[in-house]
Amino acid sequence: MKCVTGKNAYESEEVAREALIQNRIRFNHRQGSGPINIYQCSDCQEWHFTSKGVEADFLNDDEVIDRIRKEIRLRDWTNE
């Protein structure tokens, strides 16, 4: 489905959450930059990223932080 916002749309909160984690891993954003949260769109009813507002709670989850750090390290190592 194509949304009027032109943003990528994710079918559920769960999918959007995982996609945001993967985005943080892939782009290794500095703190306070890049997409930081997800929200349900009032136009398409699907989920989008946002870089505005407060950082999603799940990004501050110890398990998620640890996973992002490990996957970035692994990726950087593989790319060298």
Q: Does 15 bind Zn ion (CB under 5 A)?
A: no
3-state SS, 16-46, equals HHHHHHHHHHHHCCCCCCCCCEEEECCCCCC
Residue 22 sits at the vertex; the CA angle it makes with 18 and 26, to the nearest 5 degrees, is 170
Scanning 21-29, 37-45, 49-57, 62-70 for contacts with Zn ion by CB under 5 A, the matching segment is: 37-45
Q: If you search the block for the tokens 């929200």, which residue do you land on?
A: 39
Residue from 11, 13, 14, 43 touching Zn ion (CB under 5 A): that is: 43
Taking residues 44 to 73 in sequence order and writing x for each that binds Zn ion by CB under 5 A, - otherwise, the string is: x-----------------------------
- Residues at the site binding Zn ion, with contacts judged by CB under 5 A: 3, 5, 41, 43-44
